[in-house]
Structure 1
Amino acid sequence: MTPEASEALAGEVKEALRLVIDPELGYNIVDLGLVYDVAVEDGGVVRVAMTTTTRGCPATDYLTNGARDAASSVPSAGAVDVVLTYNPPWTPDMMTPDAKSHLGIA
């Protein structure tokens, strides 16, 4: 896969991840800043590095499974690996302005 094709696939996956809504905050995981990285490796293998707002978040399985399902729904994606990390720890500063506005954060 060319670098351009990998970049395009990563962009498609990131868009698909916007369909995953955090059930507690009611907004998508990309704009909440929970998705740290989307990388495409040889053979179209997609690696999604993400976090949750807190360790022990009760929605962790829901969010990681949702991310896996959303990334897998992209036609040119091969295998999908979702990696949960807490480094760096998530903060509200990681949210987009739209997400902050939706949640009433100035």
Structure 2
Amino acid sequence: MQAPDPAPLPADATLEQQVIAAIRRVYDPEIPLNVYDLGLIYDLQINDQKEVAIKMTLTAPGCPVAGILPGQVADAVRAVEGISDAQVELVWDPPWNQDRMSDEAKLTLGLF
């Protein structure tokens, strides 16, 4: 599930900021939050060839979106101007928990 485009980034936004903004447009269909603020992105690296390597997890190993959500993240990142490729690796260690969520995400879900 993809959300509408947020407010535009400043003209001097770094490539990493642009990638994060793209990831923030991908939402977990079961929870009304984007995967970045939900804390599902564990690592993001951009090499000199502008290839992005992402390690992400899901809220549970049996998550029904395991087959589609990583692909949606990769597609969103590949759409960023200047990015040549994106690969998403699904990892389970450390296990996801609510502490990984942003404060904004916790507020949205009423966890504060």
Query: What TM-score does the superposition give when structure 2 sets the normalisation length?
Result: 0.84
Q: Identify unmatched segments of 5+ residues in structure 2.
A: 1-13
Local SS of the residue matching 2:96:
coil
1:87 paired to 2:104? no
- Residue 64 of structure 1: how far off its partner (Å): 0.6
1:3 corresponds in structure 2 to none
**Aligned 8 A contact 1:68 1:81 in 2:** yes
Query: What TM-score does the superposition give when structure 1 sets the normalisation length?
Result: 0.88
Local SS of the residue matching 1:10:
helix
1:35 paired to 2:10? no
Aligned residues: 100
1:60 paired to 2:75? no
Q: Deviations over 1:2-46 (max 9, x none)?
A: xxxxxx322211110000000000110000000111101131111
RMSD (CA atoms): 1.3
1:47 corresponds in structure 2 to 53
The 4+ residue runs of structure 1 with deviation greater than 2 A are none
Q: Deviations over 1:36-82 (max 9, x none)?
A: 11101131111111000000210112211110111011011111110
Q: Deviations over 1:77-101 (max 9, x none)?
A: 1111101101111000000111011
- Percent of residue pairs identical: 38
Q: Identify unmatched segments of 5+ residues in structure 1.
A: 1-7
Instruction: Name whichever structure is richer in helix by fraction.
Output: 1
1:9 paired to 2:15? yes
